[in-house]
Each structure stands twice: as C-alpha cells, then as structure tokens.
Amino acid sequence: MQLPSSEEIVDDLAFFDDWEQRYQYIIDLGKQIPGLSEEAKTPDKIVKGCQSSVWLDYKTEDGKFLFEVDSDAVIVQGLLVLVLSAYNNRTAKEILDFDIDAYFTELDLERHITPTRGNGLRAIVGKIRQLASAV
C-alpha cells in the first residue's frame, strides 16, 4: 500500500472545516492499511505505553525502514498512518532528523486527541526512533 506523504496529510487535513471531518479522514486512512496477521501479533511487537493494543513490526531494505503496524482501535490505526507517513521507507538518519513535533503541531493533532492517545502516539514515535538509533 502506498501511504500518503506527511505533506499530503497536512494538506488533506487542512481541507476539512472541522475536526469531526478530520477524524473521519484519519479513520479512513487507518482502514487502508492491511494490519498484521494474528500470528505476527506477538508480545515482542507490542508498543508499551499505548491505551489500545498496538503492534509494530519492521524490516530494513536498502538501508530504509519498512514498518508494518496494527491496532485494535480504528482511530489508532489512522494515527499510525500519520506516523508512518513521516517515517516509513526512510533511513535511520531521515527518521532521526524528521521534526515530528513540528509535524504534529502543523496537524494541530495533540489538541484534539485525548491525553492517553497522545501518550500512545509518543510511545510509537519513541519506539521507531529507538529502532533508528540502534542502527
């Protein structure tokens, strides 16, 4: 699946008049990712710190990280797409250099999700950055 870029997501979200429409867009994005098979949802792939269950798997190919994610909550699936649009198919340096705080500010996201969802989002970002730092 071809994910939209972080720039495309910012542009798309700016098109909507209110957050109810933006939430629906984020949910629809989440429905587009295939998720992980039940066999792939192993305990070592769970991202700790998320309110919902979130699994993160990855491989590297030609020096770039390719992530696969899944969650048991539809809104979280969409939030995962927002994160993947910034980090998927990027080198470790590109991941570490990407200003995720500026991206989230531009999306105006954290003012519109619950604090526990925000903490979960930060846990996912932290896990991806940890993987990139280990390279």
Q: What angle do CA 25, 36, 34 make, to 5 degrees?
A: 40
Report DSSP state, residue 73: S
Helix (H) or strand (E) holding 59: strand 54-61
Rounded distance, CA 33 to CA 14, Å? 22
Active-site residue, selected from the candidate residues 33, 50, 76, 125:
50
Could you give the CA distance from residue 113 to residue 135 in angstroms, rounded to a whole number?
32
Distance, CA of 38 to CA of 27 (rounded, Å): 21
Q: Does 50 qualify as catalytic in the annotation? A: yes
Work out whether strand 64-71 and strand 54-61 pair parallel, antiparallel, or are unpaired. Answer: antiparallel
Task: List the catalytic residues.
Answer: 50
